[in-house]
Every structure is written in structure tokens, then in C-alpha cells.
Amino acid sequence: MAASAEENFIEQDAKPESDSEDTVENGVEMEFSEEPMRGLKPFQYGPLFSGLLKQRIQRCISSGPSFKFDDLQVQLCSETERKAKPAPDKLVFGHEFTDHMLEIEWTLANGWGAPSICPFHNISLHPAAKVLHYAVELFEGLKAYRGVDNTVRLFRPDQNIQRMLTSAERATLPLFDSEEFLKCLKKLISVEKDWVPDTTTSSLYIRPTMIGTEGSLGVSVPNRSLLYVIMGPVGAYFPTGLKPVSLMAEPKYTRAFEGGCGNYKMGSNYAPTINVQVEALEKYGCQQVLWLYGPDHLLTEVGTMNIFMYWINTQGEKELITHPLSGIILPGVTRRSLIDLAKKRGEFKVTERPFGMAEVIKGLQEGRVKEIFGSGTACVVCPVKEIVYKGERLQIPTMEEGAPITMMFYKELADIQYGRTPSDWVVPID
Ligand SMILES: *Cc1c(COP(=O)(O)O)cnc(C)c1O
């Protein structure tokens, strides 16, 4: 009995969905090629494989033609429907949302629909929607900043969009043209311009999201999905100046692993971390988790931030060190930007290589570790004061001399984001 149920389950996946039949009309139907796909020999394509593969090929081709900015429909709220804007110092991250959102539907049958900017609203989902069962989902996080000249700017949005496409591919969600998406995003921000707070510590947080919405329980490529963007004003991450955090480093937990998905911003990476965060706080009073990896207890990430250590290495050189893009860390836009800035300044060595707790402890004992900090869009940089590891509270001297390197990075990036330093990393909104 169980076996036949299982068979049905697979069988359904293999069959093209009824609304994918008319793909011929869209000119995306493709003759099934006998050419072997990476490592798969042709004889392995039984009816099951060819069905799945065919569906996958159709998905790639049919998601190819992107939605177009020129098709954008804009439906605005009336004045009375608009919400009051909270004072910047009252904002709690992720609690407030603007009046409008961007929404774009995709189906295997018809490809991308027209993008739409519409009043912020709840979304209705089939209870079997794949996102709800198998977390077929991705998200992004970036910000718009109101500069000292009152111009609103995005910071390196091309990097976020590129990362979004990488996640989409991994999550079997449809691809799109990055330029078309950027134009839609710029229009959304332009519509909501008044929501970008006017202090140089606050900003408008932007959350692009894509979910698999097909209402069927097969663990398979969704034939329906929704891309949307919601936004909300956020206040200063450190209202009273840089505040260092303490970290729980517990080797029994792993955030990501080789061959896994730690380098994609997919929702499935984050749900399992919440419980560990609760443990860090309840057991040790730590605000964040330091994610270690492998037998050498490599330092990979801090909460949802990349990690940096500034120290004097064993050769006596000043060095900024961070875990490389080995597949187990998220390729942060802030991380990339700090590396680029540091290399351009040329004041110290910049190294992307794995480093473990043993090196950190030795460095601390010899007084060579100067600063440890996390990096991410939310805070830019976040200094670390303590690491709880193997029952010991290791004191990190980041703040001892006022965290000069961490502060320098904060200032350099904030100067670019708030328009005090001209840079081709920013995209103005008109
Ligand atoms: C988003 C994120 C980061 C930081 O990325 P930025 O692009 O710099 O904001 C780092 N680590 C994880 C796990 C993340 O989800």
C-alpha cells in the first residue's frame, strides 16, 4: 500500500500539469533531446526522468522571457487609505510597511504576467502551496537611503538582484531580466519616496521575495510562483553608537554545509536558526550565534551577518581576514564592499581564507586579535565583545581602543550610502 501511494506521488510529479499543456502555443515546447545532461546517460531517461527533465527544460525556457517594466501597472491608494508615518526613533525592524507593494505572477503556462504596483495587501494561497510545505522560497534585503542632499539612493542593487537570480535558480523559481526588475523596483521606491526617513541613521528596508504558489503536494518544480517586494522604514541599528554583542559559539550546531544551500538567501536556511538563537540568549545571555563549521571550528557567520577579524597575523602583519566564498556562507554585499574598500585603502593585508577558533584563541592570548565584527545590510558593521566557547567567556578587545577599523568601515559605507562621498555603487531614485 505504502509503495503504491509513493508511486502515485512520483507519478503525479512526472506528468506535466494540465496548464502546462499549452506551452506549445507560447513557442516554448521543445523536442526532447537525446543529448546527455551533465553525467546522466541517455538510457537513464525512463518515462519518469524524461517527464521531470522536460518540465525543467520548459521551466527554464518559459521563464526566460522576462516581465517588462513597460507593462507595469500602477494602482495607488487613495489619500485616506495611506498610513501615518512613524517617527524614525520609534521604528522596530520589520514591523512597519509602506502603503504599496510590487507584485508579479509567473505560471509555467503563460510565463511572467505584467508587473503591478498596488496597495499593500494580504496574499491568498492554496493550502498546498509549495512554499508552505517545502519552503520553495527566496528573499533579498537591501535599503534605500535619503542622503544629506535629500536624494534617495539604492546601494549596489545589481548585487542583490544577481544574488536573487542565483537563489531563484537553486530554488527552481523562475528567472527574469535584472534590468527590468531594477526599473520596477526604482518605480516602487519612487512611489513610496515619502517613506524614506530623513535621518542619516535610518533608511527604507526593501524585501524582495519569491515563493512557489502551486497548490499541489509533489516535491517538484512549481508551475506557479509569485514575486513580490514589500518595504518598510527602519531606524538606527545602534541608536546610541556602536554597541558590541556577545556570541554563543556552540560546535554542535551547523548553519550550512558543503553541497548545501548556505550560500543562497532561501527561507529554509533561517527557520532552524531561531531555536539556537533562543538558546544563546537563555543559556548564556548572548545576543547572537557564532556559526562554527567542521572539526577546526571555523568561524563562518555571526547570526545573519558575515564575519571579519582584524588582527596581527603570525608574520606580524596587520591583516583583515574573513571566511572565503566556499559555499557555506552567504555572499554578503556588505562583505564584498568592505573587502573592496579595504583593498583600495591598502593600509593592511586583506585575506579571504578559513580561520578557526584555535587561531583566534592563540591570537587573543598573544594580544594579536584587535577587532572582530559582523557585516550586513541591517547594521553595516556590528562589533563583537565576547565569544562563549567550550564553557569559557573569551573577551574580544574590539571596543578597547574604540574599534577604529570597524568605525572606519562604518563611516566609509555610510558616507557613500547617504551621499557624502560620490560613488558608482549608488543608484539615485528620481
Ligand atoms: C543577508 C545575509 C548576510 C549579509 O548580506 P548583505 O548582503 O551584506 O546584507 C550575511 N549572512 C547571512 C546568513 C545573510 O542572510
Give the Å distance between the CA of 141 and the centre of ligand 1: 8
Ligand 1 centroid to Cα of residue 333, in Å, is 7
Answer yes or no: is the C-beta of 333 below 6 A from any ligand 1 atom. yes
Residue bearing the CA closest to ligand 1, atom 3: 305
DSSP state of 100: E
* Angle between helix 2-14 and 47-63 (nearest 10): 40
Q: b/e string for 114-133 if b means 16 or more Cβ within 10 A? A: ebbbeebeeeeeeeebbbbe
Mean pLDDT of 97-102: 98
Closest residue CA from atom 5 of ligand 1: 332
Average pLDDT score, the chain: 88
Distance, CA of 117 to CA of 102 (rounded, Å): 4
- Amino acid at position 150, single letter: N
Does the Cβ of 300 fall within 6 Å of ligand 1? no
- Determine the distance from the C-alpha atom of residue 121 to the mean position of all C-alpha atoms in its chain, rounded to a whole number: 23
Is the CB of residue 322 less than 8 Å from the CB of residue 335? yes
What pLDDT band is residue 64 in, cutting at 50, 70 and 90? Answer: low
Which of residues 70 and 25 earns the better pLDDT score? Answer: 70
Place of cell 509513493: 6
> Alpha-carbon distance 328 to 255, whole Å?
8
If one residue of 137, 161, 330 were mutated to test the ligand 1 pocket, choosing by the most ligand atoms within 8 A of its CB, it would be: 330
Give which of 208, 156, 202, 219 is closest to 416, Cα–Cα: 156
CB 195 within 8 A of CB 77: no
pLDDT of residue 27: 34
What predicted TM-score, i.e. pTM, was given to this entire model?
0.86
Residue minimizing CA distance to atom 15 of ligand 1: 304
pLDDT in tens, 179-204: 999 999 999 999 999 999 999 999 99
- Distance of CA 372 from the midpoint of ligand 1 (Å): 17
Contact 410, 201 (CB under 8 A): no
Question: What cell was used for 171?
Answer: 530554488
The C-alpha cell 587573543 sits at 364
